[in-house]
A = this chain, B = another copy of it.
Amino acid sequence: MHPYETIRSEILRRINDQTWPAGYVLPQEEQLAVEFEVARGTVRRALSSLVDAGLIERKRRAGTRVVDRKSHTSTLTIPIVRHEIENAGHHYGYKLLSARICGPEIDEKGIFGDVMLRHILCLHLNDGRPYQLEDRIISIDAIPEAETFDFKSISPNEWLIAKAPYSSVRTILRADCASGNDMKHLRVKAHDPVFIIDRQTSFNKVPLTYARLSHSGDRYQIVTETDEI
């Protein structure tokens, strides 16, 4: 155990103890450095880690305060669907359903502005059974290669990750009833629950792509684990 880990643990203990309750102002860096007999940099490292964990807040001149926790945060990882299936030891399958070039009118949400778009509908299979239906729009303006790429053997999901770096992502998770396409391709019944991931990615504020990923509710879930806050 390195010094900064020891210091982190000790400070964490005092917070959990309520020795240092929510709102409490911690001693300043120099004082902690004296107490723990280390350099100021080592104290800073421990404190920075607690800032990242959301347990303390720091402001110049005002000092370091214990945060009053009002939420849980966890890191959500959404893997490429092919890896998700293969890592679980299953057989991955892919089927392109349609690929066309469209005008801006299919962009119902007005994300992309007045540009030509590529619209792809495809299905990801787990051991031959429908697993995820991918309904995707790509901005041809932002990614010109998307205009001619055929997506017959590589899914847009995977092609995009290799091709187009992104700088920001907006993800929405929700539960809904199966749509017409869901019923047809995911083989679920009307009113069956589906788990939907809506995702929109941009690069330097320019929208690149939008996807609606739907899954049969009884075959899909997202698990996240946060350890050792």
Contacts and interface: CB of A to CB of B under 8 A. Distances in A.
B223 A171 contact: yes
Contacts of A77: 71-73
A224 B193 contact: no
Main secondary structure of the interface of A (DSSP, over half): strand
Q: How many copies does the complex hold?
A: 2
Interface string A162-188: 000111111111111100000000000
A94 B177 CA distance: 28
Q: How large is the interface on A (under 10, 10 to 19, 20 to 34, 35 or more residues)?
A: 35 or more
Interface in A69-105: 69-80, 83
A24 to B, nearest CB: 14
Interface string A213-228: 0000110111111111
Contacts of A177: 192-193, 217
Contact of A165 (B16, B80, B167, B196): B16
Given A70-B83, A161-B69, A220-B174, A168 B228 contact: yes
Interface of A: 15-16, 69-80, 83, 161, 165-177, 191-196, 199, 217-218, 220-229
26 contacts: A70-B79, A71-B77, A71-B79, A71-B83, A72-B79, A72-B169, A72-B199, A73-B76, A73-B78, A74-B171, A76-B76, A166-B229, A167-B228, A171-B224, A172-B222, A173-B173, A173-B195, A173-B221, A173-B222, A173-B224, A174-B220, A175-B196, A176-B218, A177-B192, A177-B217, A193-B193
